[in-house]
Amino acid sequence: MSKDKPFQVYALQEQQYKTYILSDSSAQSQLEVVPERGGIITSWRIQGKELLYLDSERFTNPQLSVRGGIPILFPICGNLPDNTYTSAGQQYTLKQHGIARDLPWYVTEQETQENASLTLVLNSNEETLAVYPFNFQLAFTYQILGNSLEVRQRYTNHSSEPMPFSIGLHPYFSVSDKLRVEV
């Protein structure tokens, strides 16, 4: 990291996925984001200490859902009875936590002036419409500044009818002794 530029955003190929690194050198904080694996944050380090847990074996297998990091849950959090629901008289199958965490997102913006930030977008497509019949765009901006992480979210409904949804983030914090954790 350059001392002249305290904020940086850069990409590198890690294993089979391109990983974007956001860093604030003055705070020694770093965030790793993998757009193509559901827009997930896979690592958040402050002064060399990892704050998140990531099951690397599941992460590298695209057939499995990721356990770890901070996955994005959309258009549902949790699960539905028998993974089914009805909309406009038609039945759909939607698995636990929805579709956003399993689809590739696209980087649209990077910022390194006042902070380090990265904006990712997920648009509806044939695959999403088969399980969630709404045209949409999701835009998430991840920003680090000092020891803080900010996640800005924008949901745009491009359908002519109301678009029901719930949203969630599912952070997996790294703890050394889960019996001693207090919330």
Task: Note the pLDDT of residue 13.
Answer: 77
Cα 122 from Cα 75, distance rounded (Å) = 12
Cβ(133)–Cβ(92) under 8 Å? yes
Task: Assign 179 a pLDDT band (cuts: 50, 70, 90).
Answer: confident
Is 81 strand, coil or helix? helix
**Inside any domain, residue 151:** yes
**Inside any domain, residue 182:** no
**Inside any domain, residue 2:** no
**Inside any domain, residue 74:** yes
Higher pLDDT, 4 or 145: 145
CATH code assigned at 126: 2.70.98.10
pLDDT tens digits, one per residue of 4-43: 678 888 888 767 899 999 999 999 999 999 999 999 999 9
CA angle, residues 84, 126, 121, in degrees to nearest 5: 100
**Inside any domain, residue 1:** no
What is the span of the domain harbouring residue 48?
A: 7-176
Cα 169 from Cα 74, distance rounded (Å) = 9
Cβ(110)–Cβ(142) under 8 Å? no
Number of domains in the chain: 1
Looking at the DSSP assignment, which residues form a beta bridge with residue 5? none
Task: Note the pLDDT of residue 2.
Answer: 52
List CB contacts of 150: < 8 A, sequence separation 6 or more: 141, 142, 143, 144
Cα 125 from Cα 4, distance rounded (Å) = 42
> pTM for this structure?
0.91
Q: Give the tokens for residue 120.
A: 């990712």
Task: Note the pLDDT of residue 5.
Answer: 78
